Amino acid sequence: MCDTARDPAALELLRVQRSLTRATGIKLPFRNLRYPSPGRPIGIAILVVCLAGGETEFLLIRGGLLVAAIVVAAVGVVTEMALLQAALRVTRRELRGGGGAA
């Protein structure tokens, strides 16, 4: 997923994902993005935000712009939460429709 050793925001996002799973009872795994599914665009967006945010934070910290890196991390976490909630809605809709049953 994300490089948690280098990105504390990614580690926090993993904690938020775990809390969301406990609160809702629905685990949102990263599915195989090669196959079409209703949540595929959201999964790709989560991956892009995670990678772009992590690299941007790294470069800003390396350049000595700590405040800007913190702002980017905060925006990234808020964006990831919105995307996770959208993924949860899609997963619920899919489960209610009879899809995704194991």
* 96 band by pLDDT with thresholds 50, 70 and 90: confident
Q: Which residues contact 45 (CB under 8 A, 6 or more apart)?
A: 83
- Each domain of the chain, given as residue ranges in start order, spans 8-27+36-96
Regarding pTM above 0.75, the answer is no
* pLDDT, tens digit, 9 for 90 and up, residues 20-33: 677 767 665 555 55
Can you tell me the distance from the alpha carbon of 23 to that of 79, in angstroms, rounded to the nearest whole number? 19
Structure tokens given for 24 = 């809702």
- Residue 15's pLDDT is what? 72
| 66 has pLDDT over 80 | yes
- Residue 39's pLDDT is what? 72
* 92 band by pLDDT with thresholds 50, 70 and 90: confident
- Residue 52's pLDDT is what? 86
Place of tokens 């990831």: 80
